[in-house]
Amino acid sequence: MALAPLNPNQPTNQPTNQPPHDVVSQQDLDTLVDQLPTPFIMLGDFNGHSALWGSDVTNSRGRQIEQFISNNCLCLLNNDEKTYFHEPICTFHSLDHAICSPTLMPLLDFTVGSDLYNSQHFPLIVSYADSGGAIQYPWFVPRTSPK
């Protein structure tokens, strides 16, 4: 499911969750990109480990995500911040990713929230680089007190 923007100049948001043991073909992933209007941002729990996004090891899902990004000339917004807390053994991992169309890469900032909000996943925060972390709406005028 893609969330299409009301404004055609805004990117499409594609939330994604790949359960750790589900097998998804490379062709299915590549076909997904072909179905999305551009530009787009994919945010989600991809359940892949790779040194490209700060993991100590690279697993098969991580290699598949690397190939997906390469095959489709996409950009990974993630830095080395950890996005997931594995409570049973108290370890941190980078399983959640923000992937975007190349035209969006210079326009966006990426960070990871610091509060789990009763989840195992930290929030992924993607904002426009020139807005100080908040989208500025030109029609919003703050109320002032009458004099």
pLDDT digits (tens, 9 = 90+) for 82-118: 999 999 999 999 889 999 999 999 999 999 999 989 9
Between CA 103 and CA 119 the distance in angstroms is 32
Nearest to 69 by CA among 96, 33, 38: 33
Q: Which residue is associated with the tokens 């490379």?
A: 26
* Per-residue pLDDT at 70 exceeds 50: yes
Residue 49 contacts residue 60 (beta carbons within 8 Å): no
Mean local confidence (pLDDT), 21-41 = 85
The chain-wide mean pLDDT, for the chain, equals 80
Q: 36-128 adopts what CATH topology?
A: Deoxyribonuclease I; Chain A (3.60.10)
With 0-12 / 13-18 / 19 or more C-beta atoms within 10 angstroms meaning exposed / middle / buried, residue 19 is exposed
Q: Assign 110 to helix, strand or coil.
A: strand
pTM: 0.73
Residues 6+ apart with CB under 8 A from 137: none
Which residue type, as a one-letter code, is found at position 62? G
pLDDT, position 147: 42
pLDDT range class, residue 142, cuts 50, 70, 90 = very low
Q: What does the pLDDT look like over 1-13, one tens digit per residue?
A: 344 444 455 555 5
CA 48 to chain centre: 13
Domain-by-domain residue ranges, the chain?
A: 36-128
Pairing relation of β-strands 12-17 and 40-45?
A: parallel
